[in-house]
């Protein structure tokens, strides 16, 4: 087992040299007015980015008519959120037309993706009010983060300490519709609460986040309840050395009607518990070099009950653990910046359905970034990876940015990436879904160009990309000449490597802020994303999960208008999937701020549209919410 080796290596490297690196480091003390993108090695100001990156700030989140991280991401260009449950219960996240297994999720740069299945990747223990920003990095990110960042990565960054404060946030809502027959009596409703505290000093910082939500659902057997707890600490040992750590926990249980195996899973139920922890340190040696060792662990249990009232059959209990050690570093020189380091990761699962399995992963990388050439930014690197099941692979990548006018920049990116099948892909045994232990890894090359600039005060970004995935994995079933839907539903899906998946994509985004005087301001952001896959050649009678839900068109519009006290915001999205009818969802919020108090009312799905984001799960129709937030400084 590599677990002991990881722990022993990490223990030595994590606390080594605290007393050796004593000189003051200007890198850590620079006051940067714009957001700095949090990558493992390089901290790059947003204005100097060479990639397609979108930042959702805490202010953006506070103004959105949303209740969960999933709902926030639904308003990000190119991100496809396929929720199975409301109120953040369960969602699959994909980027630029990829599958939900091909996007990597991180919390403060720490990987929290689930090796069992991407269905649990969004089990994030942080309350929405504790988030400082969300960084969405589109394109091949394997050069930066290693395996499974095939189509991109989403990094959730929690709030850093500014001053002592406590916020309390309560909300309650309902569709005011009567519950379905057999689902009890009364109306469908839900409520939630959050408490977020920042306590400490400049040297010793603490973030505490507690949240809970409960709903009796929006349709038969869709009730949900979760508790989330998160603690984050940081300690400045001296001018050159610092420590930070975190502990997180989420207990999530929900009715899973139609989640994975409709229509037979009408009575299914699921309980998921996730524990996350990390400890890291940063050590500066002079003002040119630092190292950043980190240990992290994610433990997840999943109890899936196909028949919630009969636990003697069709019950699957899983427990998986992912233990990682990373060492990241940066060296600044007169010719540019260098980044290099390594990662060791041990993943194992013990399951009544999938069996007991273990695999190890070892990665190392080297990167170089320079701005020596006038108006040109050059960023090149490679990540070398060894997996105990799939062997060696190298992911090279190149980013080039050219500032050809003061407010205009042209970017070009190319990179290779890999996605290793999940344990569910390989070993699942269910009536409606069967794994395939002979699956190969997916590999992809992606090429893209983007243009960023301003026309007057309007920000504009245009992007085109082409991606070619080799050994693409899709879950399919062969229905042959069967026409009876009941008989077709009895045929299980199984994943196979089905050749190349080639995708062309284009996107555009516009945003602007209008200062209207007397503390009145109007802000809008618009995004459109178009995806055109080259047709996959499936034989007649083959039914594909990917093709059914693949995103084709996505149009997003957010508008915020506020005065000194009043605020109105609306979020709108029009979605067209490859094989489904389009749908349009509009959400609105009206809020009033009085000193430390903020009261608001949301209406989500104003037009009462009937729509599905994933599988057979109908999403909530019109929903009314009242909320109250109080902040004490």
Q: pLDDT-based confidence at 26, cuts 50/70/90? A: very low
Rounded distance between C-alpha atoms, residue 442 and residue 198, angstroms: 42
Task: Tell me how crowded residue 559 is: count the other CB atoms within 10 A of its CB.
Answer: 15
Task: Tell me how crowded residue 440 is: count the other CB atoms within 10 A of its CB.
Answer: 14
pLDDT at residue 303 in the model: 96
Rounded distance between C-alpha atoms, residue 392 and residue 382, angstroms: 13
In a domain, 277, yes or no: no
C-alpha distances (whole Å) from 302 to each of 253, 290, 354, 620 are 10, 39, 12, 25
Q: Are 501 and 533 in contact (CB under 8 A)?
A: yes
Q: Which residue has the higher pLDDT, 472 or 260?
A: 472
In a domain, 275, yes or no: no
Only one residue has tokens 């099941």, namely 389
In a domain, 57, yes or no: yes
Position 3 pLDDT exceeds 60:
no
Rounded distance between C-alpha atoms, residue 377 and residue 462, angstroms: 19
C-alpha distances (whole Å) from 251 to each of 90, 225, 254, 342 are 12, 8, 10, 32
In a domain, 145, yes or no: yes
- CATH classification at residue 623: 2.40.170.20
User: Kind and range of the H or E element at 110?
Assistant: strand 110-111
pLDDT at residue 316 in the model: 93
Task: Give the closest residue to 35 by CA, choosing from 48, 17, 22, 21.
Answer: 48
Rounded distance between C-alpha atoms, residue 114 and residue 347, angstroms: 10
Out of 18-27, 161-170, 496-505, pick the least confident. 18-27
Tokens of 525: 């952001």
C-alpha distances (whole Å) from 407 to each of 66, 459, 462, 494, 569 are 33, 9, 14, 50, 29
Find residue 584's DSSP bridge partners.
574
Find residue 509's DSSP bridge partners.
461, 527
Mean pLDDT of 247-267: 91
pLDDT at residue 613 in the model: 86
In a domain, 272, yes or no: no
Rounded distance between C-alpha atoms, residue 41 and residue 292, angstroms: 9
Q: Rounded to 5 degrees, what are φ and ψ at 71?
A: -70, -35
Stated pTM of the model: 0.91
Q: pLDDT-based confidence at 46, cuts 50/70/90? A: low
Mean pLDDT of 529-549: 81
Q: pLDDT-based confidence at 542, cuts 50/70/90? A: confident
557-588 tens-digit pLDDT:
999 999 989 999 999 999 998 878 899 999 99
Q: pLDDT-based confidence at 491, cuts 50/70/90? A: confident
The most confident of the ranges 143-147, 311-315, 448-452 is 448-452
pLDDT at residue 38 in the model: 61
Q: Which residue has the higher pLDDT, 51 or 59?
A: 59
In a domain, 311, yes or no: yes
Rounded distance between C-alpha atoms, residue 288 and residue 339, angstroms: 12
Position 278 pLDDT exceeds 90:
yes
In a domain, 279, yes or no: no
pLDDT at residue 52 in the model: 80
Mean pLDDT of 193-217: 95
Tokens of 149: 């960042």
Position 235 pLDDT exceeds 70:
yes
For residue 420, give its domain range: 2-267+285-632
Mean pLDDT of 206-225: 94
Out of 47-51, 136-140, 370-374, 453-457, pick the least confident. 47-51
pLDDT at residue 24 in the model: 38
Residue 29 DSSP code:
H
pLDDT at residue 53 in the model: 85
**What is the percent of the chain with per-residue pLDDT over 70, rounded to a whole number?**
92
Position 606 pLDDT exceeds 70:
yes
- Total of domains in the chain: 1
Task: Tell me how crowded residue 603 is: count the other CB atoms within 10 A of its CB.
Answer: 17
Mean pLDDT of 409-425: 95
63-75 tens-digit pLDDT:
999 999 999 999 9
Residue 163 DSSP code:
S
In a domain, 274, yes or no: no
């Amino acid at each position: 087992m590599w677990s002991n080796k990881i722990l022993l290596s990490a223990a030595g490297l994590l606390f080594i040299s605290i007393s050796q690196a004593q000189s003051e480091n200007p890198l850590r003390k620079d006051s940067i007015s714009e957001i700095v993108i949090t990558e493992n090695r390089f901290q790059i100001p947003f204005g100097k980015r060479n990639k397609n990156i979108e930042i959702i700030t805490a202010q953006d989140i506070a103004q959105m008519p949303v209740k969960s991280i999933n709902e926030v991401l639904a308003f990000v260009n190119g991100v496809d959120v396929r929720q199975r449950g409301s109120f953040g219960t369960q969602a699959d996240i994909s980027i630029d037309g990829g599958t939900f297994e091909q996007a990597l999720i991180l919390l403060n740069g720490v990987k929290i993706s689930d090796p069992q299945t991407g269905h649990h990747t969004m089990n994030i223990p942080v309350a929405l009010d504790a988030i400082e920003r969300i960084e969405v990095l589109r394109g091949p990110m394997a050069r930066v983060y290693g395996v499974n960042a095939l189509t991109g990565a989403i990094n959730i960054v929690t709030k850093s300490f500014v001053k002592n404060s406590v916020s309390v946030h309560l909300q309650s809502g309902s569709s005011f519709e009567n519950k379905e027959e057999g689902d009890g009596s009364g109306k469908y409703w839900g409520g939630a609460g959050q408490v977020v505290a920042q306590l400490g000093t400049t040297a010793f910082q603490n973030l505490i986040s507690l949240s809970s939500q409960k709903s009796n659902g929006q349709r038969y057997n869709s009730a949900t309840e979760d508790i989330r707890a998160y603690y984050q600490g940081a300690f400045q040992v001296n001018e050159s050395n610092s420590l930070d750590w975190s502990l997180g926990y989420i207990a999530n249980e929900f009715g899973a009607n139609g989640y994975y195996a409709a229509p037979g899973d009408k009575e299914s139920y699921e309980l998921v518990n996730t524990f996350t922890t990390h400890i890291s340190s940063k050590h500066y040696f002079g003002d040119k070099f630092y190292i950043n060792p980190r240990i992290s662990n994610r433990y997840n249990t999943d109890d899936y009950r196909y028949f919630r009232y009969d636990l003697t059959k069709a019950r699957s209990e899983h427990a998986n653990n992912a233990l990682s050690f990373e060492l990241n570093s940066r060296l600044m020189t007169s010719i540019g910046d260098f980044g290099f380091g390594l990662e060791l990761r041990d993943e194992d699962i013990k399951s009544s359905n999938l069996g007991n399995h273990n695999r190890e992963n070892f990665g190392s990388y080297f990167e170089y970034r320079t701005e020596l050439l006038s108006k040109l930014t050059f960023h090149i690197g490679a990540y070398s990876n060894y997996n105990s099941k799939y062997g060696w692979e190298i992911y090279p990548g190149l980013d080039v940015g050219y500032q050809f006018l003061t407010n205009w920049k042209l970017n070009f990116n190319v990179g290779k990436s890999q996605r290793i099948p999940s344990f569910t892909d390989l070993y699942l045994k269910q009536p409606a879904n069967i794994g395939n232990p002979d699956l190969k890894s997916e590999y992809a090359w992606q090429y893209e160009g983007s243009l960023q600039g301003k026309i007057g005060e309007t920000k504009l970004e245009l992007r085109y990309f082409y991606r070619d995935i080799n050994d693409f994995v899709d879950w399919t079933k062969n229905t042959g000449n069967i026409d009876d839907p009941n008989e077709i539903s009895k045929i299980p899906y199984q994943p196979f490597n089905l050749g190349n998946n080639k995708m062309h994509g284009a996107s555009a985004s516009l945003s602007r802020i209008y200062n209207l005087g007397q503390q009145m301001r109007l802000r809008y952001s618009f995004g459109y994303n178009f995806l055109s896959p080259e047709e996959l050649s499936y034989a007649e009678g083959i039914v594909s999960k990917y093709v059914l839900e693949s995103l084709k068109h996505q149009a997003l519009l957010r508008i915020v208008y506020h005065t000194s006290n009043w605020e109105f915001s609306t979020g709108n999205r029009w979605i067209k999937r490859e094989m489904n009818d389009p749908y349009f969802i509009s959400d609105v919020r009206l809020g009033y701020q009085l000193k430390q108090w903020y009261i608001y009312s949301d209406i989500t799905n104003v037009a009462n549209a009937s729509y599905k984001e994933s599988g057979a799960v109908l999403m909530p129709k019109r929903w009314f919410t009242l909320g109250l937030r109080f902040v004490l400084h």
